[in-house]
Amino acid sequence: SPLVYPQETLMGKYGEEAKLIYELQDQGGELLALRYDLTVPFARYLAMNKITNIKRYHIAKVYRRDNPAMTRGRYREFYQCDFDIAGQFDPMIPDAECLKIVHEILSDLQLGDFLIKVNDRRILNGVFAVCGIPESKFITTCSTIDKLDKLPWEEVKNEMVGEEGLSPEAADRIGEYVQLHGEHCGVEPLASFLQAGQAGPVTQGCKVHTQLAGPFQENAQGEEPVSVGSVAGGGRYDGLVGMFDPKGRKVPCVGVSIGIERIFSILEQRVKASGEKIRTTETQVLVATPQKHLVAARLKLISELWDAGIKAEMLYKKDPKLLKQLQYCEDTGIPLAAIVGEQELTDGVVKLRDVATREEVRM
């Protein structure tokens, strides 16, 4: 449920206590704002608590003063799912762990093929230098290469040569690099980490790309992979903690944000397309009774099952019909029914019924 409400929604519900409702509108002249992401709050938390070394994840809501567009996944209130590593460490080791985690998450979710784009300004600068681009043209060349997401290489090259005055040879050499997809991207710990972990998508993704904090891209499966847009993004923010510290002390940070809601909508579409029925409950057993006046027996049995760590449910009716109870299992996908009737109580047993096969055992 949302966190911010029209005032009238909350008013009149709490009687005398309503005076404690937090109206932001006139909170003693304090100008307040809702959080925009989880990164700035994290950096502020580190600075305020003088924390110089931490690894954490955080799933929570953030707020945008924006016109919502549900169809394009734009909301005023939505979840972010971040993890971050803060501290003074040797270069690229925490960065590599971030990539590893993104790779694990996207693989475990079985989203299909995806591409992780890794950027480092130093690599890009190195590539430009090797290609003979003058330093004064690094930034404009950067923004031109950015257009590769939308334009073919030929057009990008034309812009470089025509508008920016690069030599065709230099442009061609850049062309070779930007079209590389490979396991050798020159960042040694990163590469060895990724190679150690696994061959495959993540190493392919380790390509030179122009975005500084590059989004991770998810491609739908198929002959010609169609991009469904970015589902994660991240990067370093070494200067942010210092902005909140009274003495400006810096804490290097690297982190990634997973677009959990976009991923959910991809998964939902996939499930809908496959026609698969998803169980909405984890309940393993429904405790049922075939006769009247047995609510106490159901309560006793369910309590024993809960104590044994078994996920059990019962209908909140005093005397439900057995058929209704079995129907409920079928509707919700509960695989087993534990039935206690008068005979079972006398014999000290339970009848366990497999809902799908209708097989029964007394035990």
192 vs 221, which CB is nearer to a copy of itself? 192
Reported as half-sphere exposure (CB side, CA atoms, 13 A), residue 118 has a value of: 29
Does 318 participate in binding a copy of itself (rule CB under 8 A)?
Answer: yes
Helix axes 188-197, 93-108, angle to 10 degrees: 30
Nearby residues of 57 by Cβ (< 8 Å), 6 or more positions away: 81, 82, 83, 84
Q: Which of 249, 272, 317, 324 forms a contact with a copy of itself (CB under 8 A)?
A: 317
When the beta carbons of 128 and 237 are compared against a copy of itself, the nearer one is: 237
109-168 residues near a copy of itself, rule: CB under 8 A? none
Q: Could you tell me if 261 and 60 are in contact, meaning their C-beta atoms sit under 8 angstroms apart?
A: no
Interface positions, 25-44, toward a copy of itself (CB under 8 A): 25, 27, 30-36, 38, 40-42, 44
Shortest distance in whole angstroms from residue 151 CB to a copy of itself: 23
87 vs 335, beta carbon nearer a copy of itself: 87
Q: Which phi and psi (to 5°) does residue 362 adopt?
A: -95, 130
Q: Which residue number, 160 or 187, has a Cβ lying nearer to a copy of itself?
A: 187
Token pair, residue 94, equals 């925490």
Out of 165, 189, 229, 248, the only residue in the binding site for a copy of itself (CB under 8 A) is 189
Query: 264 or 306, CB closer to a copy of itself?
Result: 306
Specify which residues 54 forms β-bridges with: 86
Q: What are phi and psi of 80, to 5 degrees?
A: -120, 150
The yes or no reply on residue 10 touching a copy of itself (CB under 8 A) is yes
Q: In what order do the strands lie in the sheet with 215-219?
A: 54-63, 77-86, 253-258, 227-236, 215-219, 114-115
Please identify which residue in 83, 128, 193, 216 interacts with a copy of itself, judged by CB under 8 A. 193
The residue from 303, 327, 330, 347 that contacts a copy of itself (CB under 8 A) is 303
Show binding-site residues for L-histidine. 37-39, 64, 80, 84
Q: Provide the 8-state DSSP code for 348.
A: T
